[in-house]
């Protein structure tokens, strides 16, 4: 029998009153994935993660963590997951080790083992030097890493991290990402939510994008750009009459539209597979003098905005 995926949802639906926050969401996260869960504000990320973390009941459909149903088998699920909410309080007057020892006790880790466990997780998140520090005196990035240490204390197999990098400066963000990569290397399955697609571009092996509670993309990061953009855009500048050049281009079936802007031509090609050298060829053959030709690389963020505004749907 094939091992079950780390996390799977089936028609997962959640209503708040009349409002549909999650709408028949089907997600599959494989074991040892570092999985990006992306959507703009209100898309349903926190709702999904709270259901997976057994804190919120679905209104319809179901979800499994390592084969355990999150409703019927909630106790088993709680031991398998480490859930880091988007907002969590830390006890500011406590010392770092005291705090982690407290959570270790909650998970019934025997006291003889706890010291080692606490040291191990502090090492993992790069806070070994801050053992005796008062939590309130730690920087935001360190407190965030302490939050991560807390969810690692019972050695969970699946991590559910709700925007763990939000509010961090670029350096702290990079540190957080490096820790997540290390955790993936150790065999953890990690779901990390964010509203910034490009933040997860180099980190995650797979992503899902949701909007208004619906799944709009799931797969490799690179696939987002390929699947969500139709055609290509090439900018050209010619010496002489741009209208004449535009007419040459418009006569070609590969070209869907030509617009003039600031003395340049914006040429849209019908398919992503069309090689943009076709544009140069048409112009040169037609006797136009080409000065500049540049392909418009759609940034991931731009693709994301288009996707979530429904422009490509």
Please state, in angstroms and as integers, the Cα–Cα distance from residue 244 to each residue in 140, 237, 247, 250, 265, following that order: 59, 12, 5, 10, 11
CA terminus-to-terminus distance, the chain: 38
x/- binding map, residues 152-191, to ligand ATP, per CB under 6 A? ----------------------------------------
Q: DSSP readout, 36-102? A: EEE--TTSSHHHHHHHHTTSS--SEEEEEETTEETTTTHHHHHHHEEEE-SS----TTSBHHHHHHH
HSE-CB at 83 with a 13 A cutoff on CA atoms is 19
Q: Is 47 in the site for ligand ATP (CB under 6 A)?
A: yes
In the complex, minimum distance from the CB of residue 32 to ligand ATP, in angstroms, rounded to a whole number = 25
**Residues in a beta bridge with 13:** 60
Which structure tokens are listed for 137?
Answer: 């005196």
What is the full DSSP assignment across 83-137?
EE-SS----TTSBHHHHHHHHHHHTT--HHHHHHHHHHHHHHTT-GGGTTSBGGG
Binders of ligand ATP among 57-96, rule CB under 6 A?
86
Q: Which of 31, 195, 237, 264 binds ligand ATP (CB under 6 A)?
A: 195
The sign of the dihedral angle between the CA atoms of 89, 93, 99, 103 is: negative
Which CB, 29 or 118, lies closer to ligand ATP? Answer: 29
Q: Lay out the site mask for Mg ion across 67-96 (x = CB under 5 A, - = otherwise).
A: -------------------x----------
- DSSP H or E segment with residue 243: helix 242-250
Q: Toward ligand ATP, which CB reaches closer, 45 or 232?
A: 45
- Tell me, by CB under 5 A, how many residues bind Mg ion: 3
Number of amino acids touching ligand ATP (CB under 6 A)? 13
**Whose Cβ is closer to ligand ATP: residue 9's or residue 46's?**
46
Residues in 1-20 that interact with ligand ATP by CB under 6 A: 16, 19
DSSP 171-183: HHHHHHHHHHHHH
Is 46 a binding residue for Mg ion by CB under 5 A? The answer is yes
Nearer of residues 20 and 32 to ligand ATP, judged by Cβ: 20
Nearer to Mg ion, 45 or 114 (CB): 45
Q: How far is the CB of 94 from ligand ATP (least distance, A)?
A: 27
Binding interface with Mg ion (CB under 5 A): 45-46, 86
- Where along the sequence are the contacts to ligand ATP (CB under 6 A)? 16, 19, 21, 39, 41-47, 86, 195
């Amino acid at each position: 029998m094939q091992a079950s995926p780390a996390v799977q949802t089936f028609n997962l639906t959640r209503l708040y009153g009349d409002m549909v926050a999650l709408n028949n969401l089907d997600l599959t996260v494989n074991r040892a994935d570092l999985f990006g869960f992306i959507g703009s504000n209100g898309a349903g990320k926190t709702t999904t993660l709270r259901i997976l973390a057994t804190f919120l009941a679905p209104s319809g459909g179901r979800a499994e963590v390592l084969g355990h149903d999150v409703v019927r088998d909630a106790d088993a699920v709680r031991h398998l997951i480490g859930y880091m909410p988007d907002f969590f309080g830390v006890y500011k007057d406590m010392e770092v080790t005291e705090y982690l020892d407290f959570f270790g006790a909650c998970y019934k880790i025997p006291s003889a083992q706890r010291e080692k466990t606490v040291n191990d997780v502090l090492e993992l998140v790069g806070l070994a030097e801050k053992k005796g520090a008062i939590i309130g005196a730690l920087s935001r990035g360190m407190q965030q890493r302490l939050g991560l240490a807390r969810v690692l204390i019972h050695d969970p197999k699946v991590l559910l991290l709700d925007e763990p990098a939000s509010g961090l400066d670029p350096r702290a963000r990079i540190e957080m990402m490096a820790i997540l990569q290390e955790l993936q290397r150790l065999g953890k399955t990690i779901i990390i939510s964010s509203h910034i697609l490009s933040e997860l571009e180099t980190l995650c092996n797979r992503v899902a994008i949701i909007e208004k509670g619906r799944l709009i993309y799931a797969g490799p990061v690179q696939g987002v750009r390929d699947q969500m953009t139709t055609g290509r855009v090439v900018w050209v500048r010619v010496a002489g009459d741009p209208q004449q050049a535009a007419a040459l281009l418009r006569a070609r079936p590969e070209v869907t539209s030509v617009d003039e802007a600031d003395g340049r031509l914006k040429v849209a090609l019908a398919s992503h597979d069309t090689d943009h050298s076709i544009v140069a060829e048409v112009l040169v053959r037609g006797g136009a003098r080409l000065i500049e030709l540049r392909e418009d690389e759609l940034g991931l963020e731009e693709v994301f905005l288009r996707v979530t505004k429904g422009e490509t749907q």
